[in-house]
Structure 1
Amino acid sequence: MTGTGDQQEGGTIAIGIDLGTSWSCVGVYRHRHGRVEIIINEQGSRTTPSCVAFSDTESLLVGEAALNQAARNPTNTVSGAKRLPGRRFSDASVRSDMNLWPFKVVAGRGDKPMIAASHRRRQKLLAGEEIAAMLLVKIKRDAESYLGGTVTNAVVTVPVSFDVLQRRATKDAFAVAGLDVLGVVHEPVAAAVAYYGLFHESGTETKNVVVFDLGGGHTSAALLTISAGKIAVEATAGDAHLGGEDFDGRMVEHFVEQLKTEYGKEDVGRSARALVRLRAACEQAKRTLSSSTWAPIEIDCLLEGVDFRTTITRDQFEDLNTDLFCRCMEPVKKCLSDAKLDRSNVHDVVLVGGSTRIPCLRRMLRDLFDGKELLRKDINPEEAVARGAAILAAAVVSRVPDSDLLDLILSDTTPRSLGVEAAGGAMAVIIPKNSTIPIRREQIIALHSQEPTSVVIPVFEGENPIARENSLLGELKLSAVHRGTQRGGSERQVSVCFDIDADGVMTVNARDRATKNANQMKFMDKGQLSKQEIERMAEEAAEYMAQDAENRDRVNAKNLLEECLYVKRRKIEAERKKANDALSGLEQMIQQVDNDQVSSAKKFREDLEVLMVEGSTVAG
C-alpha cells in the first residue's frame, strides 16, 4: 500500500482526522490535484474501527484486528472509549455507559475513569487518552505508509457537545501519539467545509446550511451561513450521549428479552461474549435495514449451545427507537431557534455519520423542513468530517490567505455558558457559550446568604435560566463579607470574575464590594494529564507499538517462509505427478509388449525409436 508523496508547502504533511466513537477516518489534501484523498489503511479500508484489544498471548491489536477477535476476548477489547477522556468516574454518563461495555472501568486518581485490561498476563489500568493514542499511532503509521513521508501535524475534529476538559483530553491523546494538533474544529463545521469550503465552491449566493451529524456515540447539529466560499457558524447544538450505538443497544435489549422468553436464558445479559456477538449482529442488521425492509439475525452457539435464529423488520427497528429518533431532531430545532431562523429559509441539509442512512431519520428530517428535498448526498457521510479537516489542515500549513476559513478552527472555546447562581436562583451568565479562550469577564452579582458574615458562590455550566438545573462545577466560599442591605442583611453585592487561560483552566475570583475581602478557586484543572503522565503514556504506547511492530515483522517473516515452502511443495508434487504419469505409461507399455505376440520387428523398432526420442527430451 503506497501513495505518491504529496507534501504541503514548506515540506510539511498535515492530515485531517475524524476520531470517531465507532470508526475513524483520515484525509489529506492533494495540492497538485486540488482535492482531498481518504487515506487507505493497511487492510485496504477507508475507515478504521476505533477498537483496541489486549491479550495474554498476542501483542497489542488495533483496528480491524481488534474488532475481529472481540467475540472471543470481550473483556479485553475496548471500543467506544471516546466517551471517557475528560470525564469523571462519578459522572452519570460514565456510570450509564459502564452498563453497556463488556470491559471494566474503575475509578483512578482524581476520580479519573480507568480501563482495566489484562495484557501478557499483567493487569493494566489505562486512561481513555491512552486507548485513543494507541488508535492514533496506527492511524499515523497508516498515513505515513500511504503518503511516503513522516506525519506529525493534524487537525482534529470533536463533537459540538465536547466541553473544555474533553477537548483538552483529546489534545493529550494526540500528544501521547506524537502528533501536533494544528487546530480543533467542530465535526459539523468540518463537514460543511468539505461541502462548501474554499477549495470547492465560490458562488455568490448566500446559503443557510444545516449540518446533521449522527455518529456512533453522539448527535450534533450546526447552522452555517455560506457566501462566496466564506463560512460563518451561526449556531451549534448537540447531545453527547445519543448515537448509533444507542440504536444497537435497543435491539440488543429486545433480543435479550426474546432469548429469555423463547429459550429461558435468564443469564444472557451476564455473558460478555454473548452480548458482544449479539451487538455485532445487531449493528450489521441496522446497516441492512437501511436498504432492506428486514434483516436476519443468525448466531451459532450464542449461549449454552443455543443457535439463535430470528429476524427484525424495519418497522420493528423504528418502533424500538422512536423516542431516540425524536431526540435526534432536537439539536436541529435548537440550532434554528438559537439563530432565530425560520426552517423555510434553510437551503441545504448536510448528512454526516453512517446512521444518517436510516430511512426513518431521513424522513423525519424532510418532515422537519416541510417535505422539501434538502438532503445533500454527494459525499460519503462517513468521510465528510475527515475531508473537511484535511482541507483545514492544508489551509493552516500552507497559510492559505482566507482568514474566514482559518477562523473555523476552534482551538479553544467554551462549549457551554458559565456563570453563578444569583439572587432568586437565576443563572447569571458571565462567560457565554462559544466564547473564544483565553477570556476574562467580570460582573457585579447580587447574592443571598443565610450566613451573616459569609456567602457561598455556586459555579454552574449550562444554558438553563435556572442555575440549579445546570451542571454544578463547584462552590467558592467568600468569608468576612458585608452584612447586607436587604431582607435582614441577606443580600450582598459581590464582584465575580471568571478567568479562563489558554489551557482551559478557569479561575473564579470573588470580592465583596463593601469589605474588599476576596477569595479565588480553580476549576476544570482536575483529572487532566500532567506533562510527566503524557511522557509516561507516550513511552508505554511506544513500547506497545514496538511489540506490535515486532510481532508484525515476525508474522511477515513467517508468511514469507511458509509461502516459499508451499511453492516448493507444489513444485515437487507437480514433478512427482509427472514422474508417476510417466511410470504408469511405461508399465502399461511393458504389459503391452509382454502380451504382444503378433507385431513385426519393424513395429518394435519404431516404438523403440519413439521411446528413445522421448527419453532424450526428458533428459534434456
Structure 2
Amino acid sequence: MSVIGFDIGNENCVIAVVKQRGVDVLLNDESKRETPAVVCFRGEAAVPWGQQDPEVQNELKLLPFETSEGKDGGILIHLKYLGEARTFTPVQILAMLFSNLKDITEKNLEIPVTDCVIGVPSYFTDLQRRAYLDAATIAGLKPLRLMHDCAATALSYGIYKTDFSKTGPTYVAFVDIGHCDTQVSIVSFEAGHMRLLSHAFDSSLGGRDFDDVLFVYFAKQFKELYNIDVYSNLRASIRLRTACEKLKKVLSANAEAPLNIECLMDEKDVKGFIKREEFERLASGLLERISVPSRKAMADAGLSVRKIHSVELVGSGSRIPAISKLLSSLYGKEPSRKLNSSECVARGCALQCAMLSPVFRVREYEVQDAFPFSIGFSLDGAQISTGSNSILFPKGQPFPSTKVLTFQRSNLLHVEAFYANPNELPAGVSTKISSFTIGPFQASSNEKARIKVKVQLNLHGIVTVESAMLVEDHIDDSARRG
C-alpha cells in the first residue's frame, strides 16, 4: 500500500508519494511533474453566464463554458459530451480530475491506490471541504486528511531540519502566492514538533492578477494600434492571457520584454513591448495588497517581525522581483526560495499521509494546525453561550478538537453551526455551516431530559455532531428516603 499527497492547484496538480528513501513526485503520461487541473470534453465551448455573486461572476468570465444555477443554489455546468448536451456539478467534474490523478498514480506505482492527503486553501469553507471529500470518494480515494496548503509546506520544510534552536521555538513565515490566491502562515518549530500559530489570506489575489495587468495594458494598446478588440473574441483573449503569463516570467529575469503573437485576431499579427519598471507601476495596487495578509498573520500570531527567523516564499506567483522586494521590506530579511515552489504542498501532504497511515512507519513528528475561523452554535435560533461568548471553536483553535454541550429538553434538538465573525471569511461567503436535528429523547420521569452532545471540528476542518446521549440522574435510596 502506498501513501499519496495531492496538491490540486488552480492551474496544475502535483502528485507526491512517500517511498522508503524519501518523497517522490510522480510523472504523468507526458513525463511532466505537473498535470493541468483541467477536465476535457470534446465539443464547442459556450459563452459563460451565471450567478449573481460578484466573486462567482468574475470566475465565470474566465471559463469557456455555460453555467446556470441549480435547484440547491449551486452551479451547474453545461457541456457537450459525445454529441449530447450534458449537465454536471462541480463535484462531478472534480471527481473526474481526481480519477485521472488516481489513474496516473496507479500506472506509476503499479498497485491500487486509496489512502491520500489532499491540500486545500486555509480559507476553504465547510461546504468546500465537504465537496472535496465527496469528489475524492466518488473517484475511489480515501482522504485521511484535508491539509491546509501552508501547513503542508511547513511540514515538508521542518521535518528534515536539524538546526532549530534548542532554547526555544523557531518562528518561520510561509508566504504562498498561488495562481489565484495568497496565503500566509506563521509557524513555530521545535524538535519533533510544529505548530501553526496563524493563517491569513487574500482569496482573490494571485499570479493571474498580475497577468491580468499585462492583459489589460496590451488589450488597450492593440485596440489603438491594430483596431482589434480582444475582449470580443474568446480565443484571442485566451491566447493573449497565455502570452502575458509567459511575458511576466520573462520580466522576472529581465528589465524589459517583447510580446509577439501571430494572427491574434482578424488575421493580424501583433507586437508589443514593456519594461519591468512600467509593469511594477501598473501592478502597484496588487503589490500593496500582498502585504495585508502578511501583516494580519503576524498580528494574529502575536509576534513582531524581529521574532521571525526566516521567510519562505513559494507558489507560482512568487517569482516576481517586486514581491520579494516588498516582503524584504516588511519582514526585514530576504525571502528564501529553497523549497520547490510548485511541489512543496504535495510533498507535505504525502508525508502527512504516511504519518496517518496505519501501515507506514515514519519518524515521530507532531503537526498541530490552527483553524482560521471562529465557529459558534445556536439552539432553536438562539446562540448558545459558552462562557463569556457564543463561540464554541475560536479562531486559532488547534484541530481536531472536541467540545461537549449539555442541554435539558423534552423534545427534539435543532442545533445550527455558523461562522461567528463574517469579517474573517472571504468576501461573499455565507456564515451558515450546518444544521443538526437530535432526538427525540424520553426521560424516565416527567422532567426534561438532560442530553450531552459531542461536537467535533475534525481533522478535515469540518464541523460534525459525533454523538448525543441521554444522561440519567441516579438518586440512591437514602436520598429518596431523606
TM-score by length of 1: 0.62
Residue 239 to residue 342, structure 1, CA distance change in 2 (3 Å): same
Letter in 2 for 1:227: E
1:418 aligns with 2:375: yes
- Give CA deviations for 1:114-171 in whole Å, capped at 9, x if unaligned: 2222122211222222222222222222222222222111111111111111111111
- Give CA deviations for 1:221-245 in whole Å, capped at 9, x if unaligned: 1100001131011111112221112
Number of residue equivalences: 423
Contact 1:461 1:470 in 2 (8 A): no
1:146 alignment partner, SS class: helix
Residue 395 to residue 438, structure 1, CA distance change in 2 (3 Å): closer
Equivalent residue in structure 1 for 2:348, among 385, 388, 391: 388
Equivalent residue in structure 1 for 2:296, among 331, 334, 340: 334
Contact 1:417 1:463 in 2 (8 A): no
Letter in 2 for 1:21: N
Residue 469 of structure 1: CA displacement?
11
Q: Which residue number in structure 2 is paired with residue 598 of structure 1?
A: none
Contact 1:461 1:471 in 2 (8 A): no
Contact 2:422 2:431 in 1 (8 A): no
What is the distance in 2 between the residues matched to 1:173 and 1:160?
A: 19
Contact 2:173 2:186 in 1 (8 A): yes
1:55 alignment partner, SS class: coil
What is the distance in 2 between the residues matched to 1:95 and 1:378?
A: 37
- Give CA deviations for 1:551-600 in whole Å, capped at 9, x if unaligned: xxxxxxxxxxxxxxxxxxxxxxxxxxxxxxxxxxxxxxxxxxxxxxxxxx
What is the distance in 1 between the residues matched to 2:294 and 2:94?
A: 29
Q: Which residue number in structure 2 is paired with residue 223 of structure 1?
A: 186
- Give CA deviations for 1:187-220 in whole Å, capped at 9, x if unaligned: 01111111111x4536444310011011111111
Q: Unaligned regions of 5+ residues in structure 1, if any? A: 1-11, 57-72, 79-87, 445-456, 477-496, 508-620
Contact 1:431 1:441 in 2 (8 A): no
- Give CA deviations for 1:524-571 in whole Å, capped at 9, x if unaligned: xxxxxxxxxxxxxxxxxxxxxxxxxxxxxxxxxxxxxxxxxxxxxxxx
What is the distance in 2 between the residues matched to 1:55 and 1:469?
A: 34
What is the distance in 2 between the residues matched to 1:443 and 1:333?
A: 39
1:54 aligns with 2:11: no
Contact 2:392 2:403 in 1 (8 A): no
1:326 alignment partner, SS class: helix
1:357 alignment partner, SS class: coil
What is the distance in 1 between the residues matched to 2:220 and 2:131?
A: 38
What is the distance in 2 between the residues matched to 1:461 and 1:317?
A: 40
Q: Which residue number in structure 2 is paired with residue 40 of structure 1?
A: 27
Q: Which residue number in structure 1 is paired with residue 239 of structure 2?
A: 277
Equivalent residue in structure 2 for 1:156, among 118, 143, 148: 118
Q: Which residue number in structure 2 is paired with residue 133 of structure 1?
A: 95
Residue 342 of structure 1: CA displacement?
0.5
What does 1:373-522 correspond to in 2, within 5 Å? 373=334, 375-397=335-357, 398-400=360-362, 402=364, 404-405=366-367, 407-408=368-369, 415-419=372-376, 429-435=391-397, 436=399, 439-440=402-403, 461-462=420-421, 464=423, 471-473=430-432, 504=462
The worse-fitting range, judged by mean Cα deviation, of 171-180 and 428-437 is 428-437
Equivalent residue in structure 2 for 1:24, among 13, 16, 22: 13
What is the distance in 1 between the residues matched to 2:401 and 2:338?
A: 38
- Give CA deviations for 1:328-373 in whole Å, capped at 9, x if unaligned: 2211111110111000110111122121111110111101012x23
- Give CA deviations for 1:242-289 in whole Å, capped at 9, x if unaligned: 1112222222222222222222334x2121111111111111111221
Contact 2:226 2:270 in 1 (8 A): no
What is the distance in 1 between the residues matched to 2:136 and 2:318?
A: 28
Residue 378 to residue 269, structure 1, CA distance change in 2 (3 Å): same
Residue 428 of structure 1: CA displacement?
5.5
1:192 aligns with 2:182: no
Cα RMSD, aligned residues only: 3.3
1:146 aligns with 2:108: yes
Residue 358 to residue 180, structure 1, CA distance change in 2 (3 Å): same
Contact 1:461 1:473 in 2 (8 A): no
Residue 379 of structure 1: CA displacement?
2.3
Higher strand share: 2
What is the distance in 2 between the residues matched to 1:301 and 1:74?
A: 20
What is the distance in 2 between the residues matched to 1:498 and 1:416?
A: 20
Letter in 2 for 1:392: Q
TM-score by length of 2: 0.79
What is the distance in 1 between the residues matched to 2:428 and 2:32?
A: 45
- Give CA deviations for 1:287-321 in whole Å, capped at 9, x if unaligned: 22111222222221111122121122222222222
1:347 alignment partner, SS class: strand
Residue 441 to residue 320, structure 1, CA distance change in 2 (3 Å): farther
What does 1:564-575 correspond to in 2, within 5 Å? none
Q: Which residue number in structure 2 is paired with residue 208 of structure 1?
A: 171
Letter in 1 for 2:84: R
Q: Which residue number in structure 1 is paired with residue 248 of structure 2?
A: 286
Higher helix share: 1
What is the distance in 2 between the residues matched to 1:327 and 1:396?
A: 37
What is the distance in 2 between the residues matched to 1:226 and 1:315?
A: 38
Contact 2:180 2:203 in 1 (8 A): yes
Q: Which residue number in structure 2 is paired with residue 351 of structure 1?
A: 313
What is the distance in 2 between the residues matched to 1:377 and 1:30?
A: 25
Letter in 2 for 1:201: T
Contact 1:192 1:350 in 2 (8 A): no
Letter in 2 for 1:123: A
* Higher gyration radius (CA): 1
Q: Which residue number in structure 1 is paired with residue 270 of structure 2?
A: 308
Contact 1:418 1:432 in 2 (8 A): yes
Contact 2:45 2:65 in 1 (8 A): yes
What is the distance in 2 between the residues matched to 1:211 and 1:349?
A: 6
Letter in 1 for 2:373: R
What is the distance in 2 between the residues matched to 1:308 and 1:498?
A: 64
What is the distance in 2 between the residues matched to 1:214 and 1:92?
A: 22
What is the distance in 2 between the residues matched to 1:153 and 1:469?
A: 34
What is the distance in 1 between the residues matched to 2:181 and 2:428?
A: 22
Q: Unaligned regions of 5+ residues in structure 2, if any? A: 384-388, 408-415, 436-452, 466-482
Letter in 2 for 1:395: M
What does 1:241-256 correspond to in 2, within 5 Å? 241-256=204-219
What is the distance in 2 between the residues matched to 1:459 and 1:37?
A: 40
1:110 alignment partner, SS class: coil
Residue 302 to residue 226, structure 1, CA distance change in 2 (3 Å): same
Letter in 2 for 1:248: D
What is the distance in 1 between the residues matched to 2:298 and 2:218?
A: 38
Letter in 1 for 2:162: E
2:18 alignment partner, SS class: strand
What is the distance in 2 between the residues matched to 1:192 and 1:346?
A: 14
Residue 55 to residue 180, structure 1, CA distance change in 2 (3 Å): same
Residue 505 to residue 160, structure 1, CA distance change in 2 (3 Å): closer
Residue 400 of structure 1: CA displacement?
3.9
Letter in 2 for 1:14: V
1:166 aligns with 2:128: yes
Contact 1:215 1:244 in 2 (8 A): yes
What is the distance in 1 between the residues matched to 2:91 and 2:428?
A: 30
What does 1:3-22 correspond to in 2, within 5 Å? 12-22=1-11
Identity over aligned pairs, percent: 30
Letter in 1 for 2:38: C
Residue 115 to residue 317, structure 1, CA distance change in 2 (3 Å): farther
